[in-house]
């Protein structure tokens, strides 16, 4: 669909507070690195990543998605009651039910009439959410919609490190190295029909 009445009004984000360097990960991989005879700098050399971030252990995805969403709303001077739809697009979720978007909407005080739902589309989640909201705006169903996402990488990275140290195989390491590229953060994209928010 070609859009003529849809505008990206603002963005919001939050970075996870705990910095974990590739050197930190290599220290945890010491048993495997020793067996393979690897020197330091392997992970950064293979991934190009010096550091990634982790949330605190007691976090929820919804709380950080809501912070990013609030920042997008504040930036555009759009109020929660003007949001006609909120879509949570993260791979991770806080539980099976209810949808994580419900908690985000509650924290942001999004109105009861808004469409509130989760979209699962792996790495394409946010763009899928943007297309969903853009379609709703273009069709005149809503004036504004908020797409939010939050991801966490601590659990999968730590689990993968344990597996690498257990298997101690170069083949498994090659298959698992992409996991070391993951990080934690939250983002939001606010779309409008151009009639509300900052001029």
What is 174-185 written as a DSSP string? HHHGGGGG---E
If one counts every other C-beta atom within 10 angstroms of the C-beta of residue 74, the result is 13
Spot the catalytic one: 89, 97, 102, 171.
97
Considering Cα of 11, then 15, then 16, then 21, what sign does the dihedral take? positive
- Find out whether the peptide bond into 37 is cis, omega within 30 degrees of 0: no
Cα(72)–Cα(15) distance, integer angstroms: 14
Token pair of 169 as six digits: 């195989």
Of 187, 111, 114, give the one whose Cα is nearest residue 148: 187
**Which one from 89, 123, 138, 163 is the annotated catalytic residue?**
123
Is 123 a residue of the active site? yes
Is 97 assigned a catalytic role?
yes
Catalytic residue set: 97, 123
């Amino acid at each position: 669909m070609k859009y003529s009445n849809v505008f990206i009004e603002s963005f919001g984000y939050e970075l996870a507070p705990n910095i974990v360097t590739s050197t930190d990960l290599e220290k945890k991989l010491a048993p495997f690195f020793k067996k393979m005879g690897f020197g330091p700098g392997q992970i950064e050399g293979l991934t190009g990543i010096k550091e990634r971030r982790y949330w605190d252990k007691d976090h929820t995805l919804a709380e950080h998605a809501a912070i990013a969403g609030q920042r997008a709303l504040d930036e555009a001077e759009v109020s929660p009651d003007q949001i006609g739809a909120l879509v949570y697009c993260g791979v991770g979720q806080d539980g099976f039910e209810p949808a994580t978007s419900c908690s985000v909407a509650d924290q942001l005080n999004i109105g009861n009439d808004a469409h509130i739902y989760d979209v699962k589309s792996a790495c394409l989640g946010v763009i899928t959410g943007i297309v969903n909201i853009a379609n709703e705006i273009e069709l005149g169903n809503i004036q504004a919609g908020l797409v939010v996402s939050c991801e966490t990488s601590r659990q999968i990275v730590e689990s993968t490190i344990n597996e690498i140290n257990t298997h101690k195989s170069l083949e498994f390491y090659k298959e698992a190295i992409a996991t070391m590229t993951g990080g934690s953060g939250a983002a939001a994209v606010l779309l409008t029909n151009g009639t509300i928010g900052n001029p």
